[in-house]
């Protein structure tokens, strides 16, 4: 009897504990892993594509595994992949990517192996909505990521400022890699030739570098904004592979345009590149910034590319909405928040245009949610967060990086844009020399 009472007592205690846990859950708190940290993990790495990938995967294995486990759109991609149409779309994308960029597929295999996650999972994340959009049953399943790029082309201050916005599970799931890639013999043979590369890039966990912001040995600085197209094409190249190739640019405009056009493949999805050359002699001795929009071409195996220059005295803003290209876009949160952010930008700069670093921080660090979305999103209740801010400063020639809002935090890192933090010189002539002028023959 006593024994039974004790049992009942224990059961009651257990029940009360459960109630207590349930009561705790009523008050929603961000899960511990979403608490923003103040850190920038950085890896310096050299080797073949596979080695650079594998080392990145090994060093950031736990971060990549955690990201894969919490990345909400992945289940939709896996469901789509497990249908015959989904499998075919995946296989076609992998086949064409292997034909154009075997070296970057190898690099992704290295990341998967190093991090002990499946290649299949990482390639699905790279395929993004191309898979789900082309299977009506599963459409739409947006993994909204956004970004903001502000170009400032004033005298005497010029910069490219860029925030990475991503699903909240991406907070603290990114790193910076400084890589020197020397392609191995078995990584050559693609339509796009394997090249020796030196670059520094912000990278989303488990992703190929190049789809966020970066600067390259041939003195090109760029950032990427996602475009939310409503018609991604099958049998084309996932956009992250094209921006990966952009890291290999030779520092001349024709080469950059050729990479983005991706003849023989073409992009499956849309994106925007904000770009500038560190050396103004490429652009006729004056600083010129560019908005470039890259959209799919349904008729030819290449991308459509629109280019818009910003000359001295002009500032530019690009978010996640097309400004110059005609291609159907989704009417969903990424595009809507772009409209709100654009409105905030105009409000903040109308009587007080951006002229210096403090002005950029004031505008891109805007955290006022009163109109729905500020420019820097860091509320733990917001499903999208700005995970970092990088400012490429063309005056001090440095890349200044924050992992938290720049109005109440100091930057955490300042990297030189001239690669004085690297010791090994390139083995080959990496950059076009003498520098060619920026305008491609058919620009005007
Ligand atoms: C890799 O992951 C698998 C499960 O997917 C696990 O069984 C194995 O132990 C892991 N290997 C290492 C070295 O962590």
Range of the domain at 93: 2-416
Name the percent of the chain lying above pLDDT 90.
Answer: 73
pLDDT band at 19 (very low <50, low <70, confident <90, very high): very low
CA distances from 283 to 160, 253, 288, 405 (A): 16, 9, 6, 33
Asked if the structure places residue 290 within a domain, the reply is: yes
What's the pLDDT at 166? 85
What's the pLDDT at 388? 94
Q: Distance from the CA of 367 to the center of ligand 1, in angstroms?
A: 41
What's the pLDDT at 9? 54
Asked if the structure places residue 383 within a domain, the reply is: yes
What's the pLDDT at 27? 45
User: Per-residue b/e over 45-62, b at no fewer than 16 CB within 10 Å?
Assistant: bebbbbbbbbbbbbbbbe
Asked if the structure places residue 439 within a domain, the reply is: no
Q: Distance from the CA of 281 to the center of ligand 1, in angstroms?
A: 52
What's the pLDDT at 26? 40
The alpha-carbon radius of gyration of the chain (Å, integer) is 23
Asked if the structure places residue 421 within a domain, the reply is: no
pLDDT in tens, 2-14: 445 555 555 555 5
What's the pLDDT at 1? 45
pLDDT, mean of residues 159-174: 91
pLDDT in tens, 337-352: 889 999 999 999 999 9
pLDDT band at 168 (very low <50, low <70, confident <90, very high): confident
Q: Distance from the CA of 387 to the center of ligand 1, in angstroms?
A: 29
pLDDT in tens, 211-221: 999 999 999 99
Is residue 18 over pLDDT 70?
Answer: no
Comparison of pLDDT for 1 and 269, the residue scoring more: 269
pLDDT in tens, 243-260: 999 999 999 999 999 999
From CA 294, how far away is CA 78, in angstroms rounded? 27
Q: Distance from the CA of 64 to the center of ligand 1, in angstroms?
A: 13
Lowest-confidence region among 42-51, 173-182, 373-382: 373-382
From CA 144, how far away is CA 81, in angstroms rounded? 20
pLDDT, mean of residues 162-191: 94
CA distances from 73 to 67, 88, 140, 429 (A): 11, 20, 10, 42
Q: Distance from the CA of 122 to the center of ligand 1, in angstroms?
A: 16
Is residue 83 over pLDDT 60?
Answer: yes
Q: Distance from the CA of 116 to the center of ligand 1, in angstroms?
A: 6
**Tally of structural domains, the chain:** 1
pLDDT in tens, 110-128: 999 999 999 999 999 999 8
Q: Distance from the CA of 121 to the center of ligand 1, in angstroms?
A: 15
What's the pLDDT at 440? 57
Q: Distance from the CA of 115 to the center of ligand 1, in angstroms?
A: 9
Is residue 421 over pLDDT 90?
Answer: no
Is residue 197 over pLDDT 80?
Answer: yes
Is residue 371 over pLDDT 70?
Answer: yes
What's the pLDDT at 292? 98
Counting Cα atoms < 13 Å in the Cβ hemisphere of 3 gives 0
Asked if the structure places residue 317 within a domain, the reply is: yes
Lowest-confidence region among 155-159, 199-203, 282-286, 306-310: 282-286
Q: Distance from the CA of 107 to the center of ligand 1, in angstroms?
A: 20
What's the pLDDT at 23? 39
Provide the whole-model pTM.
0.90
What's the pLDDT at 8? 54
What's the pLDDT at 284? 85
What's the pLDDT at 146? 72
From CA 127, how far away is CA 122, in angstroms rounded? 9
User: Per-residue b/e over 309-348, b at no fewer than 16 CB within 10 Å?
Assistant: bbeeeebbbbbbbbeebebebbeebbbbbbebbbebbeeb
Comparison of pLDDT for 133 and 181, the residue scoring more: 181
Based on the number of CB atoms within 10 Å of its own CB, is 82 exposed (0-12), middle (13-18) or buried (19 or more)?
A: exposed
CA-based nearest residue to 435, from 312, 254, 299, 287 = 254
From CA 437, how far away is CA 139, in angstroms rounded? 44
From CA 239, how far away is CA 211, in angstroms rounded? 8
From CA 292, how far away is CA 440, in angstroms rounded? 13
Chain mean pLDDT for the chain = 89
Q: Distance from the CA of 69 to the center of ligand 1, in angstroms?
A: 14
Q: Distance from the CA of 231 to the center of ligand 1, in angstroms?
A: 37
Asked if the structure places residue 438 within a domain, the reply is: no
What's the pLDDT at 423? 79
Name the percent of the chain lying above pLDDT 70.
Answer: 88
What's the pLDDT at 444? 42
Is residue 439 over pLDDT 50?
Answer: yes
From CA 254, how far away is CA 257, in angstroms rounded? 5
The three-state secondary structure class of 239 is helix
CATH of the domain at 27: 3.60.60.10
Nearest 5 degrees, angle CA 140-CA 342-CA 324? 70
Which tokens in the block code for residue 443? 């620009």
Asked if the structure places residue 289 within a domain, the reply is: yes
pLDDT in tens, 88-105: 999 999 999 999 999 999
Nearest 5 degrees, angle CA 172-CA 175-CA 179? 175
Q: Distance from the CA of 27 to the center of ligand 1, in angstroms?
A: 36
pLDDT band at 393 (very low <50, low <70, confident <90, very high): very high
Asked if the structure places residue 20 within a domain, the reply is: yes
Q: Distance from the CA of 66 to the center of ligand 1, in angstroms?
A: 14
Q: Distance from the CA of 208 to the center of ligand 1, in angstroms?
A: 22
Is residue 33 over pLDDT 60?
Answer: no
């Amino acid at each position: 009897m006593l024994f039974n009472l004790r049992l009942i007592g224990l059961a009651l205690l257990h029940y009360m504990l459960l109630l207590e846990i349930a009561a705790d859950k009523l008050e929603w708190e961000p899960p511990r892993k979403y608490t923003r940290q103040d850190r920038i993990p950085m890896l310096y790495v050299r080797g073949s594509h596979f080695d650079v990938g594998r080392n990145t995967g090994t060093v950031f294995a736990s971060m990549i595994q955690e990201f894969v486990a919490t990345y909400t759109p992945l289940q939709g991609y896996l469901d789509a992949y497990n249908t015959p149409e989904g499998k075919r779309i995946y296989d076609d994308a992998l086949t064409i990517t292997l034909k154009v960029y075997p070296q970057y597929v190898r690099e992704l295999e290295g990341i998967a192996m190093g991090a002990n996650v499946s290649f299949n999972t990482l390639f699905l994340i790279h395929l993004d909505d191309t898979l789900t959009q082309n299977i009506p049953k599963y459409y739409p399943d947006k993994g909204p990521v956004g970004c903001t790029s502000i170009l400032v082309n004033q005298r005497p201050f010029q910069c490219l400022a860029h925030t990475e916005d991503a699903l909240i599970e991406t907070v603290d799931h990114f790193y910076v890699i400084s890589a020197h890639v020397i392609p191995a013999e078995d990584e050559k043979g693609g339509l796009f030739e394997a090249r020796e590369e030196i670059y520094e890039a912000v990278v989303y966990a488990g992703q190929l570098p190049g789809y966020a912001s970066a600067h390259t040995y041939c003195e090109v600085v760029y950032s990427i904004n996602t475009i939310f197209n409503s018609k991604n094409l099958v049998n084309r190249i996932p956009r992250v592979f094209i921006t990966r190739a952009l890291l290999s640019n030779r520092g001349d405009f024709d080469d950059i345009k050729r990479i983005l056009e991706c003849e023989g493949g073409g992009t499956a999805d849309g994106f925007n590149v904000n770009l500038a050359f560190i050396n103004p002699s490429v652009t006729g001795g004056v600083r010129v910034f560019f908005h470039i929009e890259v959209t799919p071409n349904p008729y030819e195996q290449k991308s459509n590319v629109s280019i818009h220059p910003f000359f001295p005295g002009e500032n530019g803003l690009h978010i996640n909405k097309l400004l110059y290209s005609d291609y159907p876009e989704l009417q969903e949160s990424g595009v809507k928040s772009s409209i709100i952010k654009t409105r905030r930008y105009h409000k903040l700069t109308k009587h007080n245009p951006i002229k210096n670093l403090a002005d950029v921080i004031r505008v891109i660090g805007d955290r006022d949610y009163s109109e729905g979305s500020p420019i820097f999103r860091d509320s733990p209740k917001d499903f999208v967060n700005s995970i970092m801010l990088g400012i490429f400063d063309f005056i001090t020639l440095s890349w200044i990086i924050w992992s938290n809002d720049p109005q109440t935090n100091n930057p955490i890192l300042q990297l030189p844009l001239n690669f004085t933090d690297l010791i090994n010189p390139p083995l080959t002539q990496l950059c076009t020399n003498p520098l060619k002028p920026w305008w491609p023959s058919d620009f005007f």
